[in-house]
């Protein structure tokens, strides 16, 4: 008997660019979807670990039906919590990424009906690893309730939305086993898209 997860999840992979002409769209590939604990472990045990990936690779684990892109309408009003591990040798990135994936699929990053967590990402870069957690909103109500089946903050005040977002940031920080002095940073996707990079100005810290 398989143990069902609360949601279906899809793993995506961004392969490193091979030449100059490669754009984001061609590099991002859907790998596999799963909806049970057993299937998660079966997949996890058979894919390359993050620490073994080439530079400029990413894994993305998103709720099935949400593409790990700013352009997905369900990400239109969202943002992400992120942390950069700048000392690559000092961190067990495989452990950190596994814990974040388990937090996502085990629904421990948010409360049952928050409906904020869209997915989690790990980026392998020259000077750092970055782990991100994408949220549906930036803590503000979505005009008209937003796209998709989930209420996603419907009837939530800005104050409540912000509190939920901050709580998710704290859960994320705890899952990453960061010290109090280390900060996870939140930024909206709109800012990221405009800055042409994810290194947009942080809106909140936790």
Residues forming a β-bridge with 30: 12
Comparing CB distances to ligand M7G, the nearer of 40 and 83 is 83
d(CA 116, CA 133): 10
The DSSP element (H or E) to which 30 belongs, if any, is strand 28-36
123 is an interface residue for ligand M7G by CB under 6 A? yes
Tell me the backbone φ, ψ of residue 161, rounded to 5 degrees: -60, -45
Could you say which of 29, 125, 154, 194 contacts ligand M7G (CB under 6 A)? Answer: 125
Rounded to a whole number of angstroms, the minimum distance from the CB of residue 132 to ligand M7G is 8
Comparing CB distances to ligand M7G, the nearer of 117 and 156 is 117
State the binding string over 46-85 for ligand M7G (x if CB under 6 A, else -).
Answer: -----------------------xxx--------------
Comparing CB distances to ligand M7G, the nearer of 26 and 71 is 71
Binding-residue total with ligand M7G (CB under 6 A):
9
**Residue 150 has which token pair?**
């989930």
24 is an interface residue for ligand M7G by CB under 6 A? yes
Structure letter (DSSP) for residue 90? G
16 is an interface residue for ligand M7G by CB under 6 A? no
Q: How far is CA 34 from CA 8, 41, 135, in A?
A: 6, 10, 21
Tell me the backbone φ, ψ of residue 133, rounded to 5 degrees: -130, 115
Residues forming a β-bridge with 133: 81, 120
d(CA 58, CA 73): 21
Comparing CB distances to ligand M7G, the nearer of 79 and 146 is 79
**Residue 109 has which token pair?**
């990053």
Comparing CB distances to ligand M7G, the nearer of 38 and 71 is 71
Rounded to a whole number of angstroms, the minimum distance from the CB of residue 70 to ligand M7G is 4
Residues lying near ligand M7G in the complex (CB under 6 A): 24, 69-71, 123, 125, 196-198
């Amino acid at each position: 008997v398989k143990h069902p997860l609360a949601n279906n999840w899809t793993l995506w992979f961004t392969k490193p660019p091979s030449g100059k002409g490669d754009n984001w769209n061609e590099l991002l590939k859907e790998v596999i979807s799963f909806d049970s604990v057993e299937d998660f472990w079966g997949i996890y045990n058979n894919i390359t670990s993050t620490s073994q990936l080439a530079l400029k690779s990413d894994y993305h684990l998103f709720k099935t039906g949400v593409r790990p892109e700013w352009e997905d309408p369900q990400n239109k009003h969202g943002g992400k919590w992120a942390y950069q591990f700048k000392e690559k040798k000092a961190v067990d990135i495989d452990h950190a990424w596994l814990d974040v994936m388990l937090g996502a699929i085990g629904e421990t990053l948010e409360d049952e009906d928050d409906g904020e967590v869209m997915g989690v990402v790990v980026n392998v870069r020259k000077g750092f690893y970055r782990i991100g957690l994408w949220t549906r909103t930036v803590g503000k109500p979505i005009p008209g309730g937003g796209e998709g089946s989930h209420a996603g903050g419907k009837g939530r005040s800005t104050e409540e939305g912000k509190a939920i977002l901050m709580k998710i940031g704290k859960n994320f920080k705890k899952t990453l086993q960061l010290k109090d002095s280390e900060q996870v940073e939140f930024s909206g996707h709109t800012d990221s898209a405009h800055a042409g990079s994810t290194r947009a100005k942080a809106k909140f810290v936790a």
